[in-house]
Amino acid sequence: MIWLFTTVLWAGVLTMRVESRWALTAFEVALFALAAAAIARKRFALAIHPIGAILASIAIWGLTQVAWNISVDSQKTLEASLDWATNCAAFSLALHLARRQFLTAQAIFGLLVAIGAVIALFTTGSLGAFAYRNQFAAFVEVCLALAVVAAFRQRLWILVAAALFASVIAAGSRTGSALCLALLLALPLAACLRGLIPGKTLLRLATLSAASAIALVTVVGWETIWQRFNEPHPYSARADMNRSSWNIIRDRPITGFGLGAWPSAYPKYARYDDGTFVNQAHNDWAQWTAEGGLPLLGAMLALLAMLAPKAWKSIWGLGLIAVFVHAAVDYPFEQRPALAAWLFAMMGALAAEFKESFLETPSNRRPGIPDEIGS
């Protein structure tokens, strides 16, 4: 079942730009069917994880907003509730099914998607399956972290990490480029400080990653990211939207305006009107709070607090923490439900990480656990 689950996740990511609803509906139906099959196989002996409970409660909160006539856009809130239920299904399936091979497959998939995105960028000006550079960068942040940790076992993986970094540079995501660079440098250092790799390995990884990253960035080009970093007041529009979001939150701090309803609530609070439809707050944290009130903010902070210790212990999970940081200035969790479900599936894999650690190297591998990468 794990490979069927993996196939569904990948199909969801690869069809994100399909405008017709059928692609997303098929993705959601497939995930729910797999979840139902998994429950039936366990004969309904459910073990509820706290993060799964949080995600389910968010979906129920959206339904409650509609039932109590809180939402300013009931249709959007119902759709958002379905999205959160999908996130819960993806997390729960990964929690019970994911193994180290699953994580290895995600890293390879990330590389293939990144190569396809760069080719599409040079030939069509798009990013392949991704409509927005910030969402592409968030996807890569997780895959890059997996590749860096895999390089602790086999050095070839650092070339994969460098290629992923170069793809974000080519895409022109400012925050994504900064976070990917931080991951490329900080993850080996964190592993060394924890005694997981020796200092000599850290030096070799640093040298190889620097050389590979420079070479691959030169190939794909750095002009786009340089121009974006040199834009005057690059985050001024986001600052205005954050002020508007704060005013939205202040009006309904407890109930919110309805999951998925930020675009409907925003026009009343907009600080300017240039005729452009603003579909996201460009800050998922602010949007979550505006839509679901302080209860949703508290739920997401609790989720992050539960993930953080596991992320530090696994090292690769710090890529997911980077996505939450990225969410403070962009919207990796919004607008593309299949990408959000993939991210929550990776959180499920992180929660299940210590059944079979992705981090183990030949020097610290426990008996009976095969070295899947580099064997």
3-class DSSP state for residue 213? helix
pLDDT one-digit tens code per residue, 125-152: 899 999 999 999 999 999 999 999 999 9
Answer for the pair 77, 256: CB distance below 8 angstroms, yes or no: no
- Per-residue model confidence (pLDDT) at position 354: 52
- Per-residue model confidence (pLDDT) at position 223: 77
State the alpha helices, DSSP H only, in 42-132: 50-67, 74-97, 100-123
Torsion of CA 245, 246, 251, 256, to 10 degrees: 60
pLDDT of residue 375 exceeding 50: no
Please write down the HEC assignment for all residues of 312-373.
HHHCCCHHHHHHHHHCCCCCCCCCCHHHHHHHHHHHHHHHCHHHCCCCCCCCCCCCCCCCCC
- Statement: the pTM of the whole predicted model exceeds 0.85: yes
Phi, psi (rounded to 5 degrees) for 71: -70, 140
The DSSP 8-state label assigned to residue 127 in this structure reads B
pLDDT of residue 237 exceeding 60: yes
One-letter amino acid identity for 241?
M
Distance from C-alpha of 55 to C-alpha of 88, rounded to nearest angstrom: 5
Distance from C-alpha of 132 to C-alpha of 171, rounded to nearest angstrom: 9
Provide the percentage of residues in the chain whose pLDDT is more than 70: 91
What is the helix (H) or strand (E) element at residue 186, kind and residue range?
helix 174-193
Tokens representing 241 are 């939207």
3-class DSSP state for residue 130? strand
Under the banding of pLDDT at 50, 70 and 90, the label for residue 219 is: confident
- Per-residue model confidence (pLDDT) at position 373: 35
Under the banding of pLDDT at 50, 70 and 90, the label for residue 368 is: very low
pLDDT one-digit tens code per residue, 165-212: 999 999 989 999 999 999 999 999 999 988 888 888 888 888 888 888
- Per-residue model confidence (pLDDT) at position 43: 55
One-letter amino acid identity for 71?
S
Per-position b or e across 118-127, b if 16+ CB within 10 A of its CB: beebeeeeeb
Distance from C-alpha of 171 to C-alpha of 115, rounded to nearest angstrom: 11
Q: How far is CA 311 from the centre of its chain?
A: 13
- Per-residue model confidence (pLDDT) at position 371: 38
Phi, psi (rounded to 5 degrees) for 214: -60, -45
Strand spans (E) along 178-296: none
Q: Give the end-to-end CA distance of the chain in Å, rounded to a whole number.
A: 24
